[in-house]
Amino acid sequence: MNSSVNNKTRRNALKTLAGGSSLVLGALAFPRLVQAQAEVIRIGFPVPLTGAFAAEAQAVVRGAELAIKEFNDAGGLNGIKAELLVRDDKLNPQEAATRTIELIDKDKANFIVGSVSSAVQLSVNNVTKQRKVIYNSISQSDTINEAKDWSRYTFHECLNPHMTAGAVARYAIPKMGKKVVFLTADYAYGHEMARGFQTAGKALGMEVLADIRHPLGTTDFSSYFPRILALKPDVLIVCNFGRDQQISFKQANDFGIKKQMKIIAPLLMHNGRMVDGHKAYEGIIGGTGYYWGIEASTPSSKRFNDSFKSLHKGLYPTDYAALGYAGVHNVLAAVKAAGTTDTEKVVTALSAVKGDLYKGNVYFRACDHQAVQSVLIIESKDRAVAANDQDIFSVVATENFDDSKLRSCSELGHPA
């Protein structure tokens, strides 16, 4: 008994000694990393290189690489070049948070651009917000613009669901009919799309017969179709993303849904159409931020497409490639305009960035740094009439945006 008491005391003493000495040693041994203002501008780029959106992630990386190259080829910032630090966030918000913390603390990233998932971007934004680092998000979300998540260091290059869904609603409802059924993925992004659609649709006299919520990651939609068919709507509005969208279109086709109603999607994904082909997508109308086919009418798009093709061996930029490009390009343009990488000055400069970069006029709204930009209404193109293998959509309409079509600043919780 005595020995165990002694053991315990000894153990405690040793513990304190060990702990204390290691802290002291630590303080001495660990030198403060000299903040060498290295002559490089670092852009941290967390994207889901592995996981369900790997294809989209590869596209944004290509776009970002082009932006970096253009910046460097043009001389950079007085000779200071830019560097892209790509990291895999594994489509996991906590992983993304860790990567972002490391990018900022260890890799000394000056700015962060990225993410392809709504949950991930909010997590990244929380980290950058805390550390007062600029974050330009290239992922769809309504939430990131809201006052609770937003900070003056938050920028949103990508369209949000409200804009995308609204544009598609205004195009489609007058043409197709007022009775609609929603098939919505049961998560924040799906709800936001449905809400954006309903807001725009209400003004057009839309009648919602049902809002059917499916679990995220559903692989079999067959159980939904009998009811959808029984409801006899004019339009089926499919509010989902990625594989969910791909599979729901395919199966809707199998069930002959399109024979009885039109299908529209607030956001139409390019990768899904590339993989599955025209048949499943035929007749479906949707929205997107960018399609390379507008080069015929938009000179800036032609310039962008040509640059992209020459860097990436004949590949045309897709929706996500364009986002990667714009997200990084605008941050670097702001750095150049500000003449420095100092965050506060770049925030001011970035807020003022505007112009016709690749798709027509884009500017950042002051209260929430949302990039106000056009939405393209597209539909699938049959290979028979396509110019080449990558010509998968035709643009049937373009809706230009201004502040009035966005959710108002006060609605988002920002001071007026």
Partner 1 sequence: MELSFNLIAQQLVTGLALGSIYVLVGVGLSLVFGLLTIVNFAHGAFFMVGAYVGVFVFAKTGNFWICMVAVPLITGAIGMLVERFLVRPLYGRGIDYPLLLTFGLAYVMMDLTRMAFGVQGEPFEAPEALQGAVDIGIGMFPLYRLFLIAVTSVILFALWLFLEKTRFGLIVRAGARDPLVLRVLGINVSTVWLTIFGVGTGIAGLAGLLAAPMRGVSPEMGVPILIEAFVITVVGGMGSLGGAIAAGLLVGVVVSFTTLFRPELAEFSMFALMAIALIFKPNGLFGRKGLMG
Partner 2 sequence: MKTKNTFQSPVLALLAKQPALAVMALLAVFPLIFPFHSLAINILLFGLFAAGYNLTFGYTGKLSFGHAAFFGGGAYGCGILISQYAIAWPLALCFGVVLAGLLALLMGLLAMRTRGIYFAMVTLALAQCVYFLFFQVNSLTGGDNGLRGVNVNTVNFGSLKLDLLNPLVKYYFMLAFVAIAIWLINRILNSAFGSILEALRENEHRARACGINVEGTRLLSLVISGMVCGLAGALNAINLSTVSIDSLSYQTSGQVMMMTLLGGMGTFFGPFLGAGIFLGIEHVVTGITERWQLIVGVIFIILVLFFPKGIWGTALARYKK
130 binds, among partner 2, partner 1, none (CB under 5 to 8 A by kind): partner 2
Smaller CB separation from partner 1, 276 or 399: 276
Which chain residues interact with partner 1 by CB under 8 A? Answer: 51-52, 54-55, 58, 186, 210, 212-215, 217-220, 222-227, 229-231, 243, 246-247, 250-251, 254-256, 271, 274-277
Provide the minimum distance between the beta carbon of 254 and partner 2 in the complex, in angstroms, as a whole number: 28
Smaller CB separation from partner 1, 137 or 318: 318
User: What are 219's two structure tokens?
Assistant: 């692989």
Smaller CB separation from partner 1, 75 or 256: 256
Are the C-beta atoms of 309 and 316 separated by less than 8 Å? yes
Smaller CB separation from partner 2, 107 or 344: 107
Provide the minimum distance between the beta carbon of 290 and partner 1 in the complex, in angstroms, as a whole number: 19
CA distance 329 to 325: 6
Smaller CB separation from partner 2, 5 or 30: 30
Are the C-beta atoms of 107 and 85 separated by less than 8 Å? yes
88 binds, among partner 2, partner 1, none (CB under 5 to 8 A by kind): partner 2
Query: Residue 406: CB partners within 8 Å, gap ≥ 6?
Result: 162, 163, 365, 370, 372
119 binds, among partner 1, partner 2, none (CB under 5 to 8 A by kind): partner 2
Q: Measure the CA dihedral 66/389/394/247, to 10°.
A: -90
Are the C-beta atoms of 267 and 323 separated by less than 8 Å? no
Strand, helix or coil at 115?
coil
Which parts of 59-176 are beta strand (E)? 81-88, 111-114, 134-137, 154-156
User: What are 48's two structure tokens?
Assistant: 């889901």
Query: For strand 207-214 and strand 262-265, is the pairing parallel, antiparallel, or unpaired?
Result: unpaired
Smaller CB separation from partner 1, 81 or 250: 250
CA distance 111 to 151: 14
Which chain residues interact with partner 2 by CB under 8 A? Answer: 11, 14-15, 18-19, 22-23, 25-26, 29-30, 49-50, 54, 87-88, 92-94, 97-98, 101-102, 105-106, 118-119, 122-123, 125-127, 130-131, 141, 143, 148-149, 187-188, 216
123 binds, among partner 2, partner 1, none (CB under 5 to 8 A by kind): partner 2
